[in-house]
Amino acid sequence: MTEQAISPLRRRMIEDMETRGFSEQTQRGYLRSVRDFAVFVGRSPDQAGPEDLRRYQHHLRMSGATATTINSAVSALRFFFAVTLDRNDASVGLTTVRQPRKVPVVLSPDEVARLLDATPGPKYRAALSIAYGAGLRASEVVSLKVTDIDSPRMVIRVEQGKGRKDRYAMLSEHLLETLRFWWKEARAMGVMLPSGWLFPGRNPVNPLTTRQLNRAFHAAREAAGIDKPVNLHTLRHCFATHLLEQKVDIRVIQVLLGHAKLDTTARYSRVDKRMLNAVKSPLEHLSPPPA
């Protein structure tokens, strides 16, 4: 879209988001939410009022939108009315929806090994190995550059992860060997640019996309015969859960994951099989079942 094609209102909102350092992904999401709201009310969104917002949130809920979708729309519309339009009255009736707390599905170490063995090609094997071996998010994996791998210190620099925060992730010997194998293969193919992306896309100037990495994950899952309802983010869940089962302090895991709150990390204790297996079921105290 050219500069001329962008309305003054849309341009103002983009500038407001840029001023506050919003990521491109967040900007796209906010603009999409405001556009969908405008389609719902049938006129320019700056002409809408509190009643329109109330009806729209009710529409989202009744149409089966997820809590994540509703909350994203609420955040975008609050920003649009309060910041871009300087109208604090309009967003008063907007309320966030409580997100259901679900226990994450995790794979066993054997299942993770099968999945990595079934990964198509050294690039995707290395990328998925980082997702599991360092607990990185998909967006963090594809944003890595060759210079982010600090082998002398055995750490991975994660630049501007979630929350726009830098952190260091762990780098194991096994993961380093996997990355070195991929680096040699990529250099031989001429796709690894000096100080470039660790996982280049089809054009080495650009990084691999999360969509491409997600497709590789599901291809490996099917090839490995894993039928659990898992996704690419599951590897991060597995990283945390398996560390907890190895008796690693939960506060250490919090730092490795980059969580701001310990409560976020504590949910993995719900799927710690070591903790569950340490408790005897009351059924065990009853008379043995008939032979």
> How far is residue 115's CA from residue 125's CA, in Å, rounded to a whole number?
9
Look at the pTM and tell me if it is higher than 0.75. Answer: no
Higher pLDDT among residues 189 and 246, named by residue: 189
Residue ranges covered by each domain of the chain: 3-93, 109-276
Beta bridge partners of 207: 200
**Which of 10, 114, 157, 162 is the catalytic position?**
162
Fold classified for 109-276: hpI Integrase; Chain A (1.10.443)
Quick one: pLDDT at residue 1?
Answer: 38
**Which of 123, 125, 137, 167 is the catalytic position?**
137
Quick one: pLDDT at residue 248?
Answer: 78
The sign of the torsion formed by the CA atoms of 152, 153, 154, 160 equals negative
- From the number of C-beta atoms within 10 Å of its C-beta (0-12, 13-18, 19+), residue 230 rates as buried
The sign of the torsion formed by the CA atoms of 74, 76, 79, 80 equals negative
CA dihedral 101, 104, 105, 107 (to 10 degrees): -170
For the chain, give the percent of residues with pLDDT over 90.
Answer: 53
Summarize pLDDT for 37-47 with one digit per residue, the tens: 999 999 999 99
Known catalytic membership, residue 273 = no
**CATH class of the domain at 3-93:** mainly alpha
Quick one: pLDDT at residue 21?
Answer: 87
- In the numeric block, the tokens 């080495």 are attached to 204
**Which of 55, 87, 157, 259 is the catalytic position?**
259
Quick one: which of 220, 250, 244 has its CA closest to 232? 220
Known catalytic membership, residue 233 = yes
Angle at 209 between CA 208 and CA 213, to 5 degrees: 85
Beta bridge partners of 40: none
The residues, ordered by sequence, that sit 6+ positions from 224 with a Cβ below 8 Å of its Cβ are: 111, 114, 115, 117, 118
Known catalytic membership, residue 137 = yes
Identify the H or E element spanning 179. Answer: helix 173-189
Give me the amino acid identity at 21: G
- Quickly count: other Cβ atoms within 10 Å of residue 57's Cβ: 21
Supply the mean pLDDT for the chain.
Answer: 84
**Which of 123, 167, 221, 236 is the catalytic position?**
236
Known catalytic membership, residue 268 = yes
- Report DSSP letters for 246-290, one per residue: TT--HHHHHHHHT-SSHHHHHGGGGG-HHHHHTSPPGGGGSPPPP
**Which of 10, 12, 114, 233 is the catalytic position?**
233
Higher pLDDT among residues 25 and 126, named by residue: 126
pLDDT at 146 over 60: yes
Q: What are phi and psi of 109, to 5 degrees?
A: -55, -40
Summarize pLDDT for 155-193 with one digit per residue, the tens: 889 886 555 677 888 888 999 999 999 999 999 998 888
Quick one: pLDDT at residue 290?
Answer: 57
Quick one: pLDDT at residue 221?
Answer: 96
Summarize pLDDT for 85-108 with one digit per residue, the tens: 998 877 777 888 887 677 788 899
Quick one: pLDDT at residue 283?
Answer: 43
For the chain, give the percent of residues with pLDDT over 70.
Answer: 85
Instruction: Dig out the tokens for 153 from the structure.
Output: 């210190």
